[in-house]
Amino acid sequence: MDIARITPFRVKTKLDRIDRIPEGIKMIHAPAKWKKGYKGKGIVTAVIDTGCHTSHPDLSGRIIGVRNFTKDGDNRDVSDYMGHGTHVAGTVAANFNKIGVVGVAPLSRLLILKAFDNNGNGRLDDMVNAIEYAIHWRGPRNEKVRIISLSSGTTVKDARLYLSIRRAVANNIMVICAAGNEGDGYVRTDEKVYPGYYSEVVQVGAVDCNANMAGFTNTNDQIDLVAPGVDIVSTYLDDKYAALSGTSMASPHVAGAAALLIEQMENEFGRALSEPEIYAQLVKSTMSLRYSKRVEGNGLIMLDVEQEDYYPH
């Protein structure tokens, strides 16, 4: 049986209470979009992960549907025993409630798809089934999934997984994947995990909140962009919060950014955007950090690219 694992991550701090906009959210200038009225309203992101602590107060009203593809519980049981999926969900869409944290797209909605078990292991069949479910899912008002967030990795080039990724993209769903945390700090060394390395997905590497390359981030010739992934504070188990590090923490920043851009651009164009058009908007919303393309791809996701420069090295 082919197995994938949630991209390894580090828990730095667990917090009972917090009340602030996380540094990563501010770093990519999400508040600049909020001030213009764009908070991801109407955009659905499917988070394929370890499940979610769905009763967390910061996720109240954000979850539009759930499905469990693992053998842990019934198909409605998306209980998260690792905290990984809950953390990812909060970075995408934690809401404004005057306590805790806020996500990049705080009025967007989340489809929680549990494809990784209580130990962070996932069968490739479960991943494929979750992607196919996201493609065909429709919400109570005929909502469709526009973005898939996948923070997992396998060294196996699986034909079924690849075809499901391609079907998602063909259905104008942007698939955003963590690059992986096997990096050795050397730019010319290739570290490849799938589905992140597939050219059809948006592969996200990690930097810290000073825009320095994270020592763990994978580098390769398919990196699309980078986002904050070091000591990222978000929602966690038991109604708490935690600071986690990993490319798994970087990719949901980009998923949230995509939700904001889809809302804004479709409002401005007056029509639905295709996946290539959404990707073009993401690329336009980046800033080079003057690293190699193998580190940063097109650069740091930056939702107001004219506000600030980051050249730390």
Convert the pLDDT of each residue in 164-183 to its tens digit.
999 999 999 999 999 999 99
Q: What sign has the CA pseudo-torsion 171, 52, 20, 295?
A: negative
Tokens of 208: 């810290």
Computed on alpha carbons and rounded to an integer, the radius of gyration of the chain in Å comes to 17
DSSP H or E run through 128: helix 124-136
> Which of 8-22, 88-102, 149-163, 279-293 has the lowest average pLDDT?
8-22
Question: pLDDT band at 3, cuts 50/70/90?
Answer: low
Which CA distances in Å does 80 have to 54, 92, 112, 157, 197? 9, 17, 11, 27, 26
Q: Which fold has domain 3-301?
A: Rossmann fold (3.40.50)
90 Cβ neighbours under 8 A, 6+ residues apart: 56, 58, 59, 101, 103, 234, 235, 236
Q: With 90 as the cut, is the pLDDT of residue 93 above it?
A: yes
Look at residue 118 in the predicted model and tell me its pLDDT. Answer: 86
Q: What is the pLDDT of residues 231-268, one digit of tens each?
A: 999 999 999 999 999 999 999 999 999 999 999 999 99
Strand-strand pairing, 202-207 and 232-235: unpaired
Domain-by-domain residue ranges, the chain?
A: 3-301
Chain Cα centroid distance, residue 200? 16
Look at residue 17 in the predicted model and tell me its pLDDT. Answer: 72
Question: pLDDT band at 186, cuts 50/70/90?
Answer: confident
- SS3 (DSSP) at 203: strand
pTM of the model: 0.95
Q: Check residue 273 and report its DSSP letter.
A: P
Q: With 90 as the cut, is the pLDDT of residue 189 above it?
A: no
Chain Cα centroid distance, residue 177? 7
Pick from 281, 233, 277: which is nearest to 38 by CA? 281
Tokens of 160: 């079924």
- Residues that are catalytic: 49, 84, 248
The letter for the amino acid at 237 is: L
Q: Check residue 306 and report its DSSP letter.
A: T
Look at residue 308 in the predicted model and tell me its pLDDT. Answer: 52
Taking the C-alpha atoms of residue 203 and residue 223, their distance in angstroms, rounded to an integer, is: 5
The mean pLDDT of the chain is 93
- SS3 (DSSP) at 263: helix
Q: What is the pLDDT of residues 20-78, one digit of tens each?
A: 899 999 999 999 999 999 999 999 999 999 999 999 999 999 999 999 999 999 999 99
Which CA distances in Å does 2 have to 123, 156, 294? 6, 8, 28
- SS3 (DSSP) at 17: coil
